[in-house]
Amino acid sequence: MDITKIELHNMTCLEFDCSCGRKHRSGIKHISVESGSTRNLPLFLEPFKNVFVVTDNHTHEVCGKKVIALLKRQGFVVSHHTFFSTGFLVPDEKALGELIIELPSDTDVIVGVGSGTINDLCRMISHKCHIPYVIVATAPSMDGYASTVSPLIIKRTKLTYEAVFPYAVIADTDILKDAPLDMLYAGFGDILGKVTSLTDWNLSHKISGEYYCDTIAALVNRAMQKCVDNLNGISKREPEAIKSLVEALIISGVAMGFIGNSRPASGAEHHLAHYWEIEALSKGEAHNFHGISVGVGSVVISKLYNLVNKAESLGIDIPDSSYVEDLLLKLGAPKSPLEIGITESVFYNSILNAMEIRPRFTILRHASQLGILEEAARSITSFYYK
Ligand SMILES: [Zn+2]
Ligand SMILES: [Zn+2]
């Protein structure tokens, strides 16, 4: 079976023997990406009766009210909880506790209506309470909808927890196309990050013999390419462009599920983004949308690839930083650390220390092992902070 030719809605409950020698599996029961797909929700929820809907004060207005009314009309017993926040809702101990307190004990299924934070909170509660959850996406802003991990802020630092697949993912392009522009930029940035995450995975395979799957890498690459081909339509909110963006984000999540961790979708560009985010959190400051930082991180890591490759040929295809930068420029999204408020010292230190965020082999670690990371950090920092 050629997984790269399978349509997204057929990637549900899929299990196949791959040429990499492993069996890949997706536990998602339903995926619906189309105009008006919210109407499929009652159908997907047929095996359940008591539904607990989770929204925040923004997503409640955008889609939550509609979802609750739709389910009540169809005879479901619906209870709900709405998080109230003036800025970003933080997926931390407080939010998790709030959700546990509000969760009715007879809940059959949780329906999250939102994007990254609501999805991460619902997934964690679903995992811990053994209750399936469905996500109704409200913004194409990150690739976590179909994955199995929950990045949470615990003790003011970002930690990623293994959790579960959603039971179903609903991505209604009529709703997604109206998401704030920054969230569209973030979604594209998270996809663009695959340019460097896939290269890191390949590099690690070549240098350290880490397991690698050509098929899954090709699957993610194909989804990214389709999204890049539709780049011009994203900021114009054209339905086809929004559809290819959200499909790429969901495929990236499915790919992580196939591998069993985030390797295909997260490399050094994510480590930089996490470093910047943790730095802001530790000072009690607001941070950028995850995908916006990842997009910038991807440009920076592409530059690093270039420098390392000049010092010692890596023998693999490496990303072209001007190509990556150009795509962000065409979209109108931030492309440099200055544009997203990263100070010179934080930026310099992030290149030196982001590899400590998790023990994953990336170009940052390789440059460090070659003894050229400091010089590269100085060079890239002086390029931006003249
Ligand atoms: Zn494989
Ligand atoms: Zn990401």
- The CATH number covering residue 291 comes to 1.20.1090.10
**9 C-beta neighbours (distance < 10 Å), count:** 14
**CA angle, corner 374, sides to 373 and 377, nearest 5?**
85
Distance 386 CA to ligand 2 centre (A): 29
Looking at the fold, whether 40 and 112 belong to one and the same domain comes out as yes
Distance 70 CA to ligand 1 centre (A): 40
Tell me whether residue 243 is in a domain.
Answer: no
Looking at the fold, whether 278 and 149 belong to one and the same domain comes out as no
- Check if the beta carbon of residue 281 is closer than 8 Å to that of residue 293: no
Distance 21 CA to ligand 2 centre (A): 27
Distance 295 CA to ligand 1 centre (A): 26
Between CA 17 and CA 2 the distance in angstroms is 11
Looking at the fold, whether 136 and 201 belong to one and the same domain comes out as no
Between CA 227 and CA 223 the distance in angstroms is 6
Between CA 305 and CA 370 the distance in angstroms is 13
Tell me whether residue 27 is in a domain.
Answer: yes
Distance 6 CA to ligand 1 centre (A): 15
Nearest Cα neighbor of 248 from 291, 205, 293 is 291
Looking at the fold, whether 192 and 128 belong to one and the same domain comes out as no
pLDDT digits 0-9 by tens, 293-311 = 999 999 999 999 999 999 9
Distance 43 CA to ligand 1 centre (A): 32
Q: How many domains does the chain have?
A: 2
Distance 382 CA to ligand 2 centre (A): 27
> Which ligand minimizes its atom distance to the CA of 197?
2
Distance 7 CA to ligand 2 centre (A): 22
Looking at the fold, whether 321 and 195 belong to one and the same domain comes out as yes
Bridge partner list, 151: 160
Tell me whether residue 91 is in a domain.
Answer: yes
What residues does the ion ligand 1 have nearby, CB within 5 Å?
A: 18, 20, 213, 215
Distance 205 CA to ligand 2 centre (A): 21
Is residue 9 helix, strand or coil?
A: helix
Q: What's residue 8's pLDDT?
A: 87
Measured CA to CA in angstroms, residue 308 lies from 218, 272, 363, 377 at distances of 25, 17, 8, 11
Q: What's residue 242's pLDDT?
A: 97
Distance 21 CA to ligand 1 centre (A): 7
> Which ligand minimizes its atom distance to the CA of 25?
1
Instruction: Choose one of 115, 148, 176: the last residue of a domain.
Output: 176
Bridge partner list, 25: 15
Instruction: Choose one of 130, 148, 176: the last residue of a domain.
Output: 176
The CATH number for 8's domain is 3.40.50.1970
Distance 216 CA to ligand 1 centre (A): 6
Q: Which residues of the chain have pLDDT under 50?
A: none
Q: What's residue 86's pLDDT?
A: 82
Looking at the fold, whether 121 and 185 belong to one and the same domain comes out as no
Q: ipTM for the complex? A: 0.98
Looking at the fold, whether 284 and 170 belong to one and the same domain comes out as no
Between CA 48 and CA 132 the distance in angstroms is 10
Looking at the fold, whether 51 and 172 belong to one and the same domain comes out as yes
Q: What's residue 85's pLDDT?
A: 86
Looking at the fold, whether 122 and 108 belong to one and the same domain comes out as yes
Tell me whether residue 226 is in a domain.
Answer: no
Tell me whether residue 171 is in a domain.
Answer: yes
Tell me whether residue 231 is in a domain.
Answer: no
Q: What's residue 301's pLDDT?
A: 98
pLDDT digits 0-9 by tens, 125-180 = 999 999 999 999 999 999 999 998 888 988 888 888 988 999 999 999 999 999 99
Looking at the fold, whether 161 and 205 belong to one and the same domain comes out as no
- Check if the beta carbon of residue 310 is closer than 8 Å to that of residue 349: no
| Interaxial angle between packed helices 194-208 and 214-229, expressed in degrees from 0 to 180 and rounded to the nearest 10 | 160
Looking at the fold, whether 96 and 195 belong to one and the same domain comes out as no
Looking at the fold, whether 137 and 286 belong to one and the same domain comes out as no
Distance 40 CA to ligand 2 centre (A): 27
One-letter identity of residue 352: L
Instruction: Choose one of 131, 148, 176: the last residue of a domain.
Output: 176
Domain membership of residue 164 as a residue range: 3-176
Tell me whether residue 315 is in a domain.
Answer: yes
pLDDT digits 0-9 by tens, 210-236 = 999 999 999 999 999 999 999 999 999
Question: Running DSSP on this structure, what letter comes out for residue 111?
Answer: E
Distance 230 CA to ligand 1 centre (A): 27
Tell me whether residue 368 is in a domain.
Answer: yes
